[in-house]
Structure 1
Amino acid sequence: MQFTTIFYALSMLFLCAFAAPLEVRQETVSNVQCTSKTALDFHTSNVALLQICGGIAGTIQKCQGAPTSTTGQSGNVRFAITPVIKGDTINISKGRWEQGIKAAFAVCGQNIPFTATFAGGATKGDVNVVYGTA
């Protein structure tokens, strides 16, 4: 019995040592321009982030209704999304949206206003994102 437990523990240790590392999906963002040096309110920004497409909080995983533009606003914080290709519709997923925001914040700083282009997010291409004050 003790041999089995020791063998199991050593086996798990061996497998974990050689397991492939988990990689976080990093969305591609381009044309990132930081538009201010002053960070916006963290809580208000998070609420606005989930207000795009009429609200993608909770179980909703993707922009609904195929809008040609959308905004998410809370208090004085606003996110605006438009497709790069005029007339295209937005179908960005919650995961792609949040990863794109993180990638832009990695360039500008947490909650620093920016403009950027996120890869994908529209039926035919990319989306332009503006984050700033309303």
Structure 2
Amino acid sequence: MQFATIFYALAMFFMCAFAAPLEVRQETVSNVVCTSKTALDFHTSNVALLQICGGIAGTIEKCEGAPTSTVGQSGNVRFTIKPVVAGDVINISKGRWEQGIKAAFVVCGQNIPFTATFTGGAREGNVNVVYEAV
């Protein structure tokens, strides 16, 4: 009986140790330009992040109403999103938006202002994003 327990424990250890890692969706960002060296306020930035598309917080999962541009602002922090293709409409999901922000922060640093292009997020293609102090 003890042999079976030891064998089972070792089998579980090896299965866990060599299991494939879970894939985390990484959004592609390009044309990232860090526009300042001074970080913006963390809380104000998070509030502004969720103000795009008239408010993408809570149960809202996608930018609704097919806007051709959108701004999320709180206090002195602003996010502006515009489609790369003129006349296109924004349909970015909350997950894609937040992952794109995280990817840009990897390049510039947490809450450092930037401009960037996020892959997807518009009906016909990509979106340009500006994160800035106002």
TM-score (norm 1): 0.93
1:132 to partner: Cα distance:
0.4
Look up the match of 2:83. 83
Look up the match of 2:65. 65
Task: Work out the CA distance in 2 between the residues paired with 1:124 and 1:53.
Answer: 18
The size of the alignment, in residue pairs, is 134
1:75 to partner: Cα distance:
0.5
1:9 to partner: Cα distance:
2.4
- Consecutive unaligned residues of structure 2, counting only runs of 5 or more, are none
- Consecutive unaligned residues of structure 1, counting only runs of 5 or more, are none
Aligned-partner residue type, residue 45 of structure 1: S
Aligned-partner residue type, residue 45 of structure 2: S
Task: Work out the CA distance in 1 between the residues paired with 2:83 and 2:133.
Answer: 20
TM-score (norm 2): 0.93
Look up the match of 1:29. 29
Output aligned runs, 1:113-128, within 5 Å.
113-128=113-128
Aligned-partner residue type, residue 93 of structure 1: S
- Alpha-carbon displacement from aligned partner over 1:20-45 (angstroms, at most 9, x marks no partner): 01232211111111111111000000
Task: Work out the CA distance in 1 between the residues paired with 2:78 and 2:130.
Answer: 8
Give the secondary-structure state (helix, strand or coil) at the position aligned to 2:104: helix
Task: Work out the CA distance in 2 between the residues paired with 1:7 and 1:80.
Answer: 57
- Alpha-carbon displacement from aligned partner over 1:44-99 (angstroms, at most 9, x marks no partner): 00010011111111121111111110010110100000000011010001111111
Task: Work out the CA distance in 1 between the residues paired with 2:118 and 2:97.
Answer: 8
Output aligned runs, 1:38-77, within 5 Å.
38-77=38-77
Amino-acid identity (%): 84
